[in-house]
Amino acid sequence: MTLEAVIFGGMGTLAEVAELDRAAWNAAFRAHGIGWDWSWDTYAELMRPGGDRQLAARYAAHLGQVVEADVLDRTHQNHFATMLAGGVPLRPGVARVMNWAARGGVKLALVSRSEVDPVRALLAATARARGGVSFDVAILRQDIDRMAPHPQAMQAALAGLGLSPPRVVAVVDTPVAWDAARAAGMATLAFPGRLGETEPEDFANAPLAHVLSPEALISAWRGDACQAAE
């Protein structure tokens, strides 16, 4: 058996975008005259559980307030896409892995809870750094009904790739993405960004890399295959 695909489980596995996302939310609140200003700690806590599309709705419910969550979300997505278009660097090792995959015929997939526009903006901003390497499959918010930690998006990526879980390794940056990939039956490498590092104990038993590399991916994949064989 050979490794045939790598699934990047979130925009944060490609670039450190959490702070831009938080800033986009706060810009959306200002645009609609809502007196919220999420600190990093508030944002990280809202992101931690996963499982829904609407951070603003959950926060409003916590405060006992009513807001137009869908409108806020659309404005947030627009601001996020604009901020990403300004340029963001790839995380350490990502360009190397993507070029290694392209040379070796290893397929690439991206799973993201974002809409099309922010993802398109990120890919445009990082195209040069990626050497033009693109994704074979992308599963975005509109493609699924349930968010991580539910495995639906990871399963959809597998289906799009036409591969079974043992032939794939997932790269994840948060515990909820880790749970989703493991629930889909895939070998998984933790590549925590700032959000994932908020709760490092959640990755305590996970193969972990701070610089992404083909060697780390293959090690995580082989380790999982060996455990399955036992």
- The DSSP letter of residue 188 is E
Q: What's 11-29 look like in SS3?
A: HHHCECCHHHHHHHHHHHH
Spans of all domains in the chain: 5-16+90-229, 18-85
The CA-atom distances, in angstroms, between 29 and each of 56, 86, 197 are: 9, 21, 26
Are 6 and 106 spatial neighbours (Cβ–Cβ below 8 Å)?
yes
At 230 the pLDDT is: 33
Rounded to the nearest 10 degrees, the angle between the axes of helix 55-63 and helix 18-31 is: 60
Q: Give the residue carrying structure tokens 């007196």.
A: 35
pLDDT tens column, 170-182: 999 999 999 999 9
71 residue type, one letter: V
- Give the three-class secondary structure for 193: coil
pLDDT tens over the chain, length 230 residues: 899 999 999 999 999 999 999 999 999 999 999 999 999 999 999 998 876 778 999 999 999 999 999 999 999 999 999 999 988 999 999 999 999 999 999 999 999 999 999 999 999 999 999 998 999 999 999 999 999 999 999 999 999 999 999 999 999 999 999 999 999 999 999 999 988 876 656 677 789 999 999 999 999 999 864 444 33
Q: Give the residue carrying structure tokens 């300004």.
A: 86
At 6 the pLDDT is: 98
CATH number, domain 5-16+90-229, options 1.10.600.10, 2.40.160.10, 3.40.50.1000, 3.30.360.10 = 3.40.50.1000
Q: Give the residue carrying structure tokens 């397929």.
A: 107
pLDDT tens column, 78-119: 999 999 998 899 999 999 999 999 999 999 999 999 999 999
Per CATH, domain 18-85 is 1.20.1050.10: no
Q: How many residues does the chain have?
A: 230
